[in-house]
Amino acid sequence: MSRSFAFIFFAAVAFVSGALAKDAPAVIDADVCVYGGTSGGVMAAVQVARMGKRAVIAEPGRHLGGMTSGGLSAVDVGDPRTVGGLAREYFARLVGSYGKTLAWDKPFTSKGGGPATGGAYSIEPHVAEQVFNDLALEAHVAVHLQARLASVKKDGTRIRELVMEDGTVFHATVFIDATYEGDLMAKAGVTYTLRREGNAKYGETYNGIYYAPNFAPRTDHAKPRANGRTPSGQGVWDRDLPLDPYVVKGDSQSGLLPLISAGDPGTPGEPAPGVQAYCYRLCLTAAPDRLPIAPPPDYDPKRYEIVARFIEGCEAIGDDMDLRWFSKHDPLPHDKWDFNTATFGGNLPGANWDWPEASYTQREQIAKEHENYHRGLLHFLATDPRVPEKVREEMQRFGLPRDEFVDNGGWPHQLYIREARRMVSDLVMTEHHTFGKEIAPKSVGLGSYGTDTHEVRRIVKDGVVTREGKTAGGRGGAPPYPIGYDAIVPRASECENLFVTFALSASHTAFSSIRMEPVFMVTSQSAATAACLAIDARTPVQQVDYSALRARLEKDGQILEWPPSQR
Q: Which of 280, 342, 21 is nearest to 125 (CA)?
A: 280
Establish how many alpha carbons lie within 13 A of residue 40's alpha carbon, considering only the half-sphere containing its beta carbon. 30
Q: Which pLDDT tens digit goes with each residue over 470-520?
A: 998 889 999 999 999 999 999 999 999 999 999 999 999 999 999 999 999
CB 95 within 8 A of CB 121: yes
Give, to the nearest 10 degrees, the angle between helix 517-537 and helix 85-96. Answer: 130
Whether residue 21 has pLDDT greater than 70: no
DSSP string, 369-418: HHHHHHHHHHHHHHH-TTS-HHHHHHHHT-BB-TTSSGGGTTS-S--B--
Q: Which of 59, 65, 58 is nearest to 32 (CA)?
A: 58
For residues 402 and 418, what is the distance between their CA atoms, to the nearest angstrom? 27
pLDDT at residue number 243: 98
pLDDT at residue number 105: 82
Whether residue 158 has pLDDT greater than 80: yes
Whether residue 343 has pLDDT greater than 50: yes
For residues 256 and 274, what is the distance between their CA atoms, to the nearest angstrom? 20
Give the model's confidence band at 74: pLDDT under 50 very low, under 70 low, under 90 confident, else very high.
confident
**For the whole model, what pTM was predicted?**
0.95
Whether residue 200 has pLDDT greater than 70: yes
For residues 512 and 514, what is the distance between their CA atoms, to the nearest angstrom? 6
Of 3 and 430, more confident: 430
Mean pLDDT of the chain: 93
SS in 3 state form for 42-74?
A: HHHHHHHHHCCCCEEEECCCCCCEHHHCCCCCE
For residues 308 and 546, what is the distance between their CA atoms, to the nearest angstrom? 57
For residues 341 and 280, what is the distance between their CA atoms, to the nearest angstrom? 8
For residues 375 and 304, what is the distance between their CA atoms, to the nearest angstrom? 12
Q: Are strands 451-453 and 27-29 parallel, antiparallel or unpaired?
A: unpaired
For residues 540 and 470, what is the distance between their CA atoms, to the nearest angstrom? 39
For residues 164 and 273, what is the distance between their CA atoms, to the nearest angstrom? 30
Q: Strand, helix or coil at 161?
A: strand
Q: Which of 304, 288, 297 is nearest to 391 (CA)?
A: 304
pLDDT at residue number 102: 82
Q: Which of 226, 196, 246 is nearest to 457 (CA)?
A: 196
pLDDT at residue number 168: 98
Q: Are strands 464-468 and 149-155 parallel, antiparallel or unpaired?
A: unpaired
pLDDT at residue number 107: 79
pLDDT at residue number 120: 52
501 backbone dihedrals φ, ψ, rounded to 5°: -110, -15
Q: Which helix (H) or strand (E) holds 21?
A: helix 3-23
What are the CB-based long-range contacts (under 8 Å, 24+) for 360-366? 360/60, 360/148, 360/165, 366/415
pLDDT at residue number 77: 78
Q: Which of 442, 433, 426 is nearest to 551 (CA)?
A: 442
pLDDT at residue number 23: 61
Cα 461 → chain centroid: 28
Q: Which pLDDT tens digit goes with each residue over 396-436?
A: 999 999 999 999 999 999 999 999 999 999 999 999 999 99
Inter-CA distances, 279 with 38, 159, 243, 341, 463, Å: 17, 33, 22, 7, 27
Q: Are strands 246-248 and 251-256 parallel, antiparallel or unpaired?
A: antiparallel
CB 340 within 8 A of CB 228: no
pLDDT at residue number 103: 81
Give the model's confidence band at 2: pLDDT under 50 very low, under 70 low, under 90 confident, else very high.
very low
CB 245 within 8 A of CB 464: yes
Give, to the nearest 10 degrees, the angle between helix 85-96 and helix 125-138. Answer: 130
Give the model's confidence band at 110: pLDDT under 50 very low, under 70 low, under 90 confident, else very high.
low
Q: Which pLDDT tens digit goes with each residue over 473-482?
A: 889 999 999 9
Q: Which pLDDT tens digit goes with each residue over 119-149?
A: 556 889 999 999 999 999 999 999 999 999 9
Whether residue 9 has pLDDT greater than 60: no
Whether residue 54 has pLDDT greater than 60: yes
Domain boundaries, the chain: 3-20+28-195+420-458+474-555, 207-408
Q: State the sign of the Cα–Cα–Cα–Cα dihedral 167, 33, 485, 418.
A: negative
Average pLDDT over every residue of 87-103: 90
For residues 241 and 223, what is the distance between their CA atoms, to the nearest angstrom? 14
Count of residues making up the chain: 567
Inter-CA distances, 388 with 119, 174, 320, 370, 373, Å: 30, 56, 9, 25, 20
Whether residue 537 has pLDDT greater than 50: yes
Whether residue 91 has pLDDT greater than 80: yes
For residues 184 and 6, what is the distance between their CA atoms, to the nearest angstrom? 27
CB 72 within 8 A of CB 416: yes
Give the model's confidence band at 112: pLDDT under 50 very low, under 70 low, under 90 confident, else very high.
low
Q: Which of 128, 40, 49 is nearest to 503 (CA)?
A: 40
Give the model's confidence band at 117: pLDDT under 50 very low, under 70 low, under 90 confident, else very high.
low
Whether residue 279 has pLDDT greater than 90: yes
Query: How many CB atoms within 10 Å of residue 267?
Result: 11
Q: Which of 341, 342, 282, 344 is nearest to 312 (CA)?
A: 344
For residues 94 and 104, what is the distance between their CA atoms, to the nearest angstrom? 14
Give, to the nearest 10 degrees, the angle between helix 125-138 and helix 3-23. Answer: 60
pLDDT at residue number 18: 42
Helix, strand, coil percentages, rounded to 5, for the chain: 30, 20, 50
Query: How many CB atoms within 10 Å of residue 319?
Result: 18
Average pLDDT over every residue of 211-224: 96
> What superfamily would CATH give domain 3-20+28-195+420-458+474-555?
FAD/NAD(P)-binding domain (3.50.50.60)
Q: Which pLDDT tens digit goes with each residue over 371-405?
A: 999 999 999 999 999 999 999 999 999 999 999 99
Q: Is 377 left (phi over 0), alpha (psi -120 to 50) or beta?
A: alpha
Q: Which helix (H) or strand (E) holds 447?
A: strand 443-447
Helices vs. strands in the chain: H and E counts, helices first: 13, 22
Establish how many alpha carbons lie within 13 A of residue 326's alpha carbon, considering only the half-sphere containing its beta carbon. 25
